[in-house]
């Protein structure tokens, strides 16, 4: 009986493929077994880091919920005009300053800085207000713009008009709104004029007239434009 013979070249090709596989995975095996402890330790390290991050985020979430509850209680004092009580606490709940100290790294703690800055400002404690506004993590939204305008207002009261004007302009850009932005820019113009920078004031006015042609402050901006151009001469 004739013996079965594999097609010519098939066994040779299979042998070549096996040899090729050995060529690339053998160095990997050598690398693994030679550095097994290091690789195992690195894998464990990655797992630990992931666990720490997940645990930290969970704890921060719990802390933020606690801070939100405390903030909601004390904000009632702030909205009622009791700024000192809002800052220091009522005896029954933490004040804004304690919330900042204990929960400053949470979103609610950050919001407490905004309220604290406003409360200090209303009490004419301008240095403390500026400190809170500067530490506030401002986003490009209504609250972020308001905090930036708060910084500007403090600098304006302290006579640093150029810096105040620049911050008012920044606030207008952070909350690009056809109602609020013209008011911020009007404050910027006022500060530039107080600094004697009439060319800068004119530039802002022209920007307002282009960006917000329907603003209710049009007449006021027209008056300031005439004043700025007259003082430039």
**What is the pLDDT at residue 46?**
54
| Closest by Cα among 165, 218, 156 to 189 | 165
Question: CA-CA distance, 52 to 43, in Å (whole number)?
Answer: 14
**What is the pLDDT at residue 162?**
97
Question: CA-CA distance, 216 to 31, in Å (whole number)?
Answer: 74
**What is the pLDDT at residue 123?**
96
Q: In 10 A of CB 75, how many CB atoms?
A: 15
**What is the pLDDT at residue 184?**
96
Please say whether the beta carbons of 95 and 85 come within 8 A. yes
DSSP code of 160?
-
**What is the pLDDT at residue 44?**
54
Question: 155-183: buried (b, 16+ CB within 10 Å) or exposed (e) per residue?
Answer: bbeeebbebbbbbbbbbbebbeeeebbbb
**What is the pLDDT at residue 227?**
94
pLDDT in tens for each of the 233 residues of the chain? 444 444 444 444 445 454 454 454 555 545 555 555 554 555 555 554 554 445 444 445 666 788 788 988 898 999 999 999 999 998 888 999 999 999 978 888 999 999 999 999 999 999 999 999 999 998 889 999 999 999 999 999 999 999 999 999 999 999 899 999 999 999 999 999 999 999 999 999 999 999 999 999 999 999 999 999 998 77
CA dihedral 204, 206, 209, 211 (to 10 degrees): -70
pTM of the model: 0.73
């Amino acid at each position: 009986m004739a013996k079965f013979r594999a097609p010519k070249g098939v066994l040779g090709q299979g042998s070549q493929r096996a040899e090729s596989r050995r060529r690339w995975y053998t160095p990997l095996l050598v690398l693994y077994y030679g550095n097994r402890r290091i690789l195992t330790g690195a894998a464990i390290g990655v797992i630990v880091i992931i666990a720490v991050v997940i645990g930290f985020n969970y704890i921060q979430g719990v802390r933020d919920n606690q801070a939100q509850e405390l903030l909601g209680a004390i904000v009632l004092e702030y909205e009622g005009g009791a700024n000192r009580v809002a800052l220091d606490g009522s005896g029954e709940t933490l004040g804004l300053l304690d919330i900042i100290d204990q929960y400053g790294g949470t979103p609610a703690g950050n919001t407490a800085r905004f309220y604290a800055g406003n409360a200090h400002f209303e009490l004419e404690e301008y240095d403390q207000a500026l400190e809170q506004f500067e530490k506030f993590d401002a986003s490009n939204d209504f609250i972020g713009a308001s905090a930036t305008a708060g910084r500007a207002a403090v600098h304006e009261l302290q006579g640093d008009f150029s810096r105040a004007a620049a911050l008012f302009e920044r606030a207008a850009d952070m909350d690009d709104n056809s109602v609020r932005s013209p008011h911020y820019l009007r404050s910027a113009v006022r500060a530039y004029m107080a600094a004697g920078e009439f060319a800068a004031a004119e530039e802002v006015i022209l920007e307002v007239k282009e960006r917000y042609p329907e603003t209710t402050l049009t007449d006021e901006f027209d008056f300031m434009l005439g004043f700025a151009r007259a003082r430039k001469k």
